Structure 1
Amino acid sequence: MKTIILDNKSFRKVTDLVYRTTGLRYDLNKKYYLERRIRERMEALEIEEVERYLRILQFDALERQKFINALTVKETYFFREYEQLKLFAEKVLPRMLQEGSIGLGKTIKVLSAGCATGEEAYTLGIILNEMLEGEDFDWRVVGIDIDTLALEKAKEGTYDTRSIRLIPKEYLSRYLLPDGEFYKVKPFLKQKITFAWANLLTGIPGNLAPFEVVFCRNVLIYFDDVSRERVLNNLYRALVPGGYIFFGHADFVGKCFTVFRPERIGGHLVYRK
């Protein structure tokens, strides 16, 4: 198929549709990226005319989801931003237990928002299982994403050596099984982690919330100010009073930070409801 070149009108049509659906804003510097993704989908559908594909994109919800799948960034791996995870494990979790905000015998629920292919959710599961061993608490992790293909991979729980390269050796053997060139998450860990489709722009499904802790790391960078504020308000509603939320080092929420109260723990700034 020949190279796809969108005129300005078509480009705005596509970007406006994506923005209305997901809150993700694509500027002109992403024009080539969008053109490549449109060409891939047109080839899959064996369509030659751009205008015909844009009409399908507008009215066919299934194709719109497949296009969104093609757009989303899936850069992730186990134990990403380790220092923040260490803070959660060694400082925040013990503080939560000491504060008594979670009753004995209760379940600590943690949300991985924008979980992509699941590495962060499984990482959080490993941490919770290690830190709560012997404690009278249960735990659950929920991973949500707008990309249905990424969620399928997350549910499968099979990863290559690049994804698992930062897992400490003792955890690797305890929680994953080698399978040829890949590693599979062991069933006992998988059974406590749920993956579900959700659109952060429109809200967290009520049957999944509330959560004691939310991780939304390196996700907000893809939203503009208006969408970012909506996402943060949705995450705020999904947290229990006093709950913790972790953002990525690349995220910038600016004035929207005011919806959460900052708290310094172990030399790090964390945020709470």
Structure 2
Amino acid sequence: MRIWAIANQKGGVGKTTTTVALGGLLAKEGKRVLLMDLDPHGSLTSYFKYDPDTIEHSAFDLFLHQGKVPEDLPATLIVKTSMPGLKLLPASTALATLERRMVGVDGMGLIISRALAILWDEFDYVLIDNTPSLGVLMINSLAASQHLMVPVQTEFLALKGLERMMHTLDMVIKSQKSKLTYTIIPTMFDRRTQASVQSLRAVKQTWGNQVWKYAIPIDTKFRDASRLGVVPSELDASTHGVRAYKKLLENIRESETVNAG
């Protein structure tokens, strides 16, 4: 099982789109893919037409057992999506209450790791969509993951959010003595605007080789796919956006092969 986290401490940068697009491409290859929503806002859950306000069972259930995860629980929380081979472990808005509920409970940073260990033989890939804030949910996600993707919108306000995310990542890696690798992914790129071009240049100058050498362009088909609740590659595999995500998928796999070697 490969576990990838998609996170940034700024909202609206393309985390959910990245999760859905990559998950859809992997499922189309015949991989068994689980998308996990750890954001109380539930954008990923809503994408597939489930309501995070009313859903009966969700990732929240994993945190209700004093730091342990019952063997039979994770599989019961998983629901179908519009695509065969692509499953969802949804979020509920109750996740927003975890910080105060979990005060003083040991082992709360490893709940997702324990849940995925139970599901290890059931999936080839797990992609985790994260809340845009540092807390027990993001700590869980980073602790469970082997690779982190950090989408960053190519506009200057988003660069400040990226600085915060990189600072957080540095703290987590040091505290956990983690070998977590990461890739910064420029998103919503519009080559027609000077602001977008300059922002992309600034990201690459600041973070160098950690930045994917291409960028995910603005693509209206992403919005159409979201409205229909289907992955972008199922709606139209030929768009600029989907082709960019295919390149990104190739890059992540190549970098994992290099790091493994």
**TM-score normalized by the length of structure 1:** 0.32
Task: Determine which structure has the larger strand proportion and give its number.
Answer: 1
**TM-score normalized by the length of structure 2:** 0.33
Higher relative contact order (CA 8 A, sep 6+): 2
